[in-house]
Structure 1
Amino acid sequence: MSKKLLSKNKTARKLTRNEKQRITIANVALIPSVIKNYIDTLVEVYRPTFTYKLKVEFFYYIVTTIIKRQNTYENKTLENIPVALNATILRGIKSDYNEYISWLIEQEVIFMAENYEPGHSSNKYCFADFILSPLKEDSVSEIVELKALESSTITVARSIQESEVYEENKHLLKWFNNDLEIDFEGAKTYIKHLSYYEGEIYDLTHKKVHWNHQITVLHHKAFYATRNEESDFRLHTVLTNLKKIFKPFVTYKGQELIGYDLKNSQPFFLIFLIDSIINSNSRIDNIIDRIYLKKIYNSFMLQKLWEVLSTEGFQKEYEIFKTWVLNGEIYENMESIMNPKKRLGSYFANKYIARKKVTEKKKMDNVRALMKGVIFTLFFSSLKTRNSDYKTFKKVFPNLVTVIEIFKRKANADFSKLLQNIESDCMIDFVSRKIANEYPEMPLFTIHDSISTTENYAEILKALMPQYVYEYTGLTPKIEEEKWKKHDFQIDYEKRLKLHPEWYAYNGF
């Protein structure tokens, strides 16, 4: 394990006024007890000497931030992956933040997995093996307060109502209150006995560390909210990071939650984007300005787009693709052109693992999941990808792929950010806001392209959501109902026991 310490900054860059105004952290955080006790003991016995006054709460903040970052959508596998920390925020809290990180590395709490290269990568951190082992054995967490970190540059929000994004998103965030509950004991028992997940039986210990943290945050109502217009502009909350398998345990005022998902949302918003450019719809202008420099978009990108959009070849491709998307049958129709082959009774997809820098084959449950992966590769891969599915799709839809590649020309992530910004503007700022204005007493919870409410308001939401999506886009969406209590991820333990009695017996179940 790397013990290399971070180099200390000679001078800390002075924060701008805007940076000072936007640095807000929550007062309540959840830290695993084994880590907190270890840090507290070391601080008491071998008190570190830093440039400025020691604030032990900053250790807690760093640890909980790593856990929170590891619990994001990008880390679907919920592994102990290295994550980057926001240096601007860390510096804003403590100008000598490097000394705190170095100390945690020395004490084998965390380690630095990637060295910083200007313009290429950031330092990334994950938990060291020394601390990971007891963490897997005991994932109990406890609440810590971070009020001591408040300063002239840092605002410590005592509740979600004091978060910097609350007022602009009040129609959604006001429902994060004491009435939002999780059956904590039921969820903990579920995690304890869960051994079969996503079609396979394997070691789930590190996933369970993350899962316990997710349900504990919700149980202790350590609510938070973030929304960054410089990235995806999505509203991130405790529910957006909650694994789907825990939805059956969540209620509001004791009522079941029922959600409505916008089917094929990313392809749907791609259609809206292309239609908006063709029809000069000004609704997306501000969104495009957030992602691209106006001068570059108007002088270069728009010209290139029109060169493709105006061709007969593109129009023929687009008519087919648009029909597939609006009929909600894109993945089914893609099967005919991708012609996937089964091996040993299953489908397999090539997935590039960035941190390992290798391509691995991943087993897919069904052909729909496989085709969904092809679309995500199409939208989110780099222009230099060697993915065979990407090349197959491009042969059938060369002009459509060229349009997508124009949006990726400067940076690969720009296109995904653009679609996510459009989705957020539609679902957060238009659809849910209009529903909230019409029915202010209706609880509303968003998870990106999905809106949920309690069972007594479900029929109203079911009628209004597609109506307002159409009003925003001019396109008729396909909406899919999701009853949280009857989620597909629930496990029939008796069935699993019959299928795999030898595994359950071996592991003491």
Structure 2
Amino acid sequence: MRLTYFLPNNLDLENLINENRPKFKPFNLQKAKYLLHLISAVRHNKKSLLTEDYVKLSSKSMQHKVHNYYKYWDYFINELKIVERDESYQVNKESKGYRFTEKYRTPIIPSEDQIQDTSLRRKIIQNLNAINLSVKNYPYLNKWYNDKLQIDFNLAIKLIEEEYELKKDNKELWDYDFIKEKFKSPLYQRDHAIMSVTRLRDKYYALKRDENVYRYHTVLTNMRSILRNAITYDGKKLFTLDITNSQPYLSTILLSQDYLIKCDPENKSLSISLDDPRNLYASFSNKIINNLSINQYNFKLSDSYIMLGLFRESPMNTDIQEYIRLAVGGRFYEELEKKYKEDLGITFELRKDIKATVFQVLFTANNYFGCEKAKPKKLFAELFPEVYKIFSDIKRTDKTVLPRLLQSIESYLIVDIICKRISEEIPNAPIFTIHDSISTTEEYITDVRRIMEEEFEKKIGKAPMINCEEWSKNKMIKHLEKLKQKTFATAS
């Protein structure tokens, strides 16, 4: 595996250092490059940073790899003047932020040299090995990340660079983050994409199962969907089986009587049963529960059933029934789009933008309701008042509980139940998960779909609509053509 630096294309670090030698020792050029590389690398690992200029860097993590890291940053900031630092931070909560100065906010490129420093390389590999332990129990997923997983690197780079050139000076083409209410930087999107395709080419698969919601993360989950069209397995095209409106569909479990969430506040434990309560629970460890802040809730029998399902009965009001009907039938986003247009005069060009308004309902805090940009959230509350009440009550102390609960259910079903069964019944079927979807080659589509439908019906009550999409290089060509047409239209 190659360990490559990613730095701004106009940063001649060696020349700058020769002109202004550091006054502290020990100084190591490779460690200097590594620290600067973190500005891009951390943004790549966290897509939410595509709207942010400053990148928060953990002091503890940096010190583990470069013991006198702070002297390097002072040198970069005060002497070389290539970095700026946001000094606002909270001890043990929020790290300081770093960004390149305006001159060096240019496209990044992978360096020709790799990280060779023995100490630094050893510590990086130790860290990667520790992360790899999180997936040690999933050989049925890990084994498909091998030499047969290939990307048409030149085609991917061509798309990335052409897209960036089209977007950088035309804000009409910029992508908007509806949750953060900010535009995504075309430069940071470009850099993120460059790192994604380079890492896959270099077999840096980044396998990890997180300790928050148990999602199985890989180089594929962190890659933009348009770029996955350049990927094949064993020379064969891949196809994705995707749950239609997955988050609304999964949320129906919180509105029905067919589940039980067992809480033990004294031991800070939480278990979700998607079967008969006498069966085994999909259990969370104590550590996970602390992350979910479950211990701050009062789980008393006098509480409403809304408190994470302590009661198995829920009132099936008309709007709850309609919500479930649309979510299970796969028409939720389409019907909501009609209502947005009719009642608010809001139209959406892309499906992902409609999804973002639903995420606004599911993921934002309850007090966001009063904001000017919360019109979609208010309309949702009018259309589905009981559903909205349940969701808002779950989030009344912590807005993250609902999305993390849904993502935990999704992860458990996809990774632990469905993919495990696929590996046992169809051992030759390559499977790649991208959170709520599973990708495989054409000959296994029918069987994978059948297993998905059967398991979801067992656990949720009704099988979802499942969409099948081909990973095709033609989609990349069409994507660029569409952007060019928009560019022509805005220039006219």
TM-score range, shorter chain: 0.7 to 0.9
| In the alignment, structure 1 residue 82 sits paired with structure 2 residue 54 | yes
CA distance change for structure 1 residues 494 and 299 in 2, over 3 Å: closer, same or farther?
Answer: closer
Distance 1:114 1:487 in 2: 46
Helix, strand or coil for the counterpart of 1:156?
helix
Contact kept? 2:308, 2:394, Cα under 8 Å: no
- 1:158-307 matches, within 5 Å, as 163-194=132-163, 200-201=172-173, 204-229=186-211, 231-275=212-256, 279=260, 281=273, 283=281, 286=284, 289=289, 291-293=291-293, 295-297=295-297, 299=299, 303-306=303-306
What is the Cα deviation at residue 269 of structure 1? 1.8
Among 362, 374, 399, which residue is 2:357 paired with?
A: 374
| In the alignment, structure 1 residue 427 sits paired with structure 2 residue 399 | no
CA distance change for structure 1 residues 430 and 101 in 2, over 3 Å: closer, same or farther?
Answer: farther
What is the Cα deviation at residue 325 of structure 1? 0.7
Contact kept? 2:172, 2:490, Cα under 8 Å: no
Among 374, 381, 406, which residue is 2:393 paired with?
A: 406
- 1:23-38 matches, within 5 Å, as 28-32=3-7, 34=9, 38=12
- 1:53-92 matches, within 5 Å, as 53-72=26-45, 74-75=47-48, 78=50, 81-92=53-64
What is the Cα deviation at residue 375 of structure 1? 1.0
Gaps of 5+ in 1: 1-25, 349-363
**Corresponding residue for residue 114 of structure 2:** 144
Aligned residue type for 1:435 = I
| In the alignment, structure 1 residue 327 sits paired with structure 2 residue 329 | yes
Contact kept? 2:253, 2:460, Cα under 8 Å: yes
Aligned residue type for 2:363 = F
What is the Cα deviation at residue 446 of structure 1? 1.1
Contact kept? 1:249, 1:485, Cα under 8 Å: yes
Distance 1:66 1:276 in 2: 47
Note the alpha carbon deviations across 1:461-488, whole angstroms, 9 max, x for none: 2322222333443331211111011675
Among 420, 424, 430, which residue is 1:437 paired with?
A: 424
What is the Cα deviation at residue 395 of structure 1? 2.8
What is the Cα deviation at residue 417 of structure 1? 1.9
Note the alpha carbon deviations across 1:52-98, whole angstroms, 9 max, x for none: x444443333333332332356338x456322223332233344333
- 1:45-124 matches, within 5 Å, as 46-50=20-24, 53-72=26-45, 74-75=47-48, 78=50, 81-106=53-78, 107-113=80-86, 115-118=88-91, 121-124=94-97
Aligned residue type for 1:383 = N
Aligned residue type for 1:418 = L
Aligned residue type for 1:484 = W
Distance 1:495 1:117 in 2: 44
Aligned residue type for 1:32 = L
Contact kept? 1:180, 1:252, Cα under 8 Å: yes
CA distance change for structure 1 residues 488 and 307 in 2, over 3 Å: closer, same or farther?
Answer: same
Aligned residue type for 1:210 = H
TM-score, normalised with respect to structure 1: 0.75
Helix, strand or coil for the counterpart of 2:430?
coil
Helix, strand or coil for the counterpart of 1:299?
coil
**Corresponding residue for residue 267 of structure 2:** none
CA distance change for structure 1 residues 483 and 218 in 2, over 3 Å: closer, same or farther?
Answer: same
What is the Cα deviation at residue 119 of structure 1? 7.5
Note the alpha carbon deviations across 1:398-419, whole angstroms, 9 max, x for none: 3322221222223222322222
Contact kept? 1:276, 1:284, Cα under 8 Å: no
Among 339, 345, 349, which residue is 1:365 paired with?
A: 349
What is the Cα deviation at residue 169 of structure 1? 2.8
**Corresponding residue for residue 475 of structure 1:** 462
Helix, strand or coil for the counterpart of 1:222?
coil
**Corresponding residue for residue 356 of structure 1:** none
Aligned residue type for 1:304 = S
Among 318, 334, 338, which residue is 2:320 paired with?
A: 318
What is the Cα deviation at residue 378 of structure 1? 0.3
CA distance change for structure 1 residues 201 and 329 in 2, over 3 Å: closer, same or farther?
Answer: closer
Helix, strand or coil for the counterpart of 2:150?
strand
What is the Cα deviation at residue 178 of structure 1? 1.8
Distance 1:252 1:332 in 2: 33
CA distance change for structure 1 residues 448 and 399 in 2, over 3 Å: closer, same or farther?
Answer: same
Contact kept? 1:55, 1:148, Cα under 8 Å: no
**Corresponding residue for residue 182 of structure 2:** none
Distance 2:131 2:284 in 1: 27
**Corresponding residue for residue 127 of structure 1:** 100
Say which is worse superposed, 275-284 or 447-456, in terms of deviation. Answer: 275-284
Distance 1:189 1:213 in 2: 14
What is the Cα deviation at residue 377 of structure 1? 0.6
Contact kept? 2:305, 2:314, Cα under 8 Å: no
CA distance change for structure 1 residues 499 and 151 in 2, over 3 Å: closer, same or farther?
Answer: closer
CA distance change for structure 1 residues 437 and 264 in 2, over 3 Å: closer, same or farther?
Answer: same
CA distance change for structure 1 residues 377 and 500 in 2, over 3 Å: closer, same or farther?
Answer: closer
Contact kept? 1:79, 1:207, Cα under 8 Å: no
Helix, strand or coil for the counterpart of 2:125?
strand
Distance 1:88 1:101 in 2: 14
Distance 1:149 1:264 in 2: 47
Contact kept? 2:2, 2:202, Cα under 8 Å: no
CA distance change for structure 1 residues 180 and 189 in 2, over 3 Å: closer, same or farther?
Answer: same
Contact kept? 1:260, 1:450, Cα under 8 Å: yes
Distance 2:120 2:109 in 1: 28
Contact kept? 1:308, 1:399, Cα under 8 Å: no
Aligned residue type for 2:72 = Y
Helix, strand or coil for the counterpart of 1:168?
coil
What is the Cα deviation at residue 365 of structure 1? 0.4
Contact kept? 1:191, 1:212, Cα under 8 Å: yes
Note the alpha carbon deviations across 1:335-367, whole angstroms, 9 max, x for none: 454444687xxx45xxxxxxxxxxxxxxx305x
CA distance change for structure 1 residues 68 and 448 in 2, over 3 Å: closer, same or farther?
Answer: farther
Helix, strand or coil for the counterpart of 1:103?
helix
Helix, strand or coil for the counterpart of 1:465?
helix
